């Protein structure tokens, strides 16, 4: 049966080759949704770890690529968010997880690993989750977890309790007010003594992830990290 499945998979790849979700060219390798060129050459590397001026609850922000407004990466992340490309999100997460795991100790102390990191994908409000069908941040977290073996805390632990309006067109103060108390940590014990790492697709102004970090670390001696695919 294994031999039959092997031949069937090979035939399927010939007849229905997997194409890159980014550029449309054929990919190589099973369950590959992003081609080697797009994965390694197409996008500008982001600055990596930012440990500069951040809220007191945030130890670092790490982004893999620089956002390209109107380009391939914007299209890829748009499709990831709105067209249910979960496997693409998982693959991006695996790539992000490899880079994160390889470089973490170069920028930060080993205390983060010792405190047992835990992944927290930015949650969607239940109405938006129902409309989209899934949370792209959870797909990214699943890929990161495959590479790092870090646990994921899903919506049974952290929820978006406030239905916020779009951040587009709002200034920094309006953005912060729009998201104030948007999140709720339902099980504080799930992060006690651990290092939460917030996962999202794009880091823009940081308003959303900073508010989530504030919620997680409220009244506790905790700090968090933020990991995203792109930095705008």
| pLDDT higher than threshold 80 for residue 56 | yes
- Condensed to tens digits (0 to 9), the pLDDT of residues 13-30 reads 433 457 899 888 888 766
User: What's the confidence (pLDDT) of residue 17?
Assistant: 55
User: What's the confidence (pLDDT) of residue 10?
Assistant: 37
| pLDDT higher than threshold 90 for residue 198 | yes
Local confidence band at 116 (pLDDT 50, 70, 90 cut-offs): confident
- More confident call, 126 vs 172: 126
| pLDDT higher than threshold 60 for residue 11 | no
User: What's the confidence (pLDDT) of residue 13?
Assistant: 44
CATH class for the region spanning 43-231: alpha beta
What does the CA dihedral 166, 57, 123, 99 come to, rounded to 10 degrees?
Answer: 110
The Cα angle at residue 54 between residues 184 and 229, in degrees rounded to 5: 75
Q: Which residues of the chain does CATH 3.40.50 include?
A: 43-231
pTM over cut 0.75: yes
Q: 148 in helix, strand or coil?
A: helix
């Amino acid at each position: 049966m294994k031999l039959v499945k092997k031949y069937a998979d090979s035939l399927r790849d010939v007849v229905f080759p997997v194409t890159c979700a980014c550029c449309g060219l054929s990919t190589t390798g099973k369950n590959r949704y992003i081609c080697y060129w797009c994965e390694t050459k197409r996008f500008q590397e982001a600055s990596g770890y930012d440990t500069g001026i951040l809220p007191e609850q945030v130890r670092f922000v790490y982004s893999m690529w620089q956002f390209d407004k109107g380009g391939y990466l914007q299209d890829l992340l748009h499709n990831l968010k709105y067209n249910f490309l979960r496997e693409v999100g998982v693959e991006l997460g695996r790539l992000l997880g490899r880079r994160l795991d390889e470089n973490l100790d170069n920028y930060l102390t080993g205390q983060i690993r010792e405190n047992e990191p835990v992944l927290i994908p930015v949650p969607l409000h239940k109405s938006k989750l129902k409309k989209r069908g899934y949370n792209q941040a959870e797909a990214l977290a699943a890929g990161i977890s495959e590479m790092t073996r870090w646990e994921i805390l899903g919506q049974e632990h952290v929820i978006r309790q406030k239905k916020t309006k779009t951040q587009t067109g709002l200034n920094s103060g309006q953005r912060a007010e729009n998201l104030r108390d948007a999140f709720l940590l339902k099980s504080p014990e799930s992060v006690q003594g651990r290092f939460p790492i917030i996962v999202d697709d794009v880091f823009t102004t940081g308003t959303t992830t900073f508010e989530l970090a504030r919620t997680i670390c409220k009244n506790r001696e905790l700090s968090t990290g933020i990991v995203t695919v792109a930095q705008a």
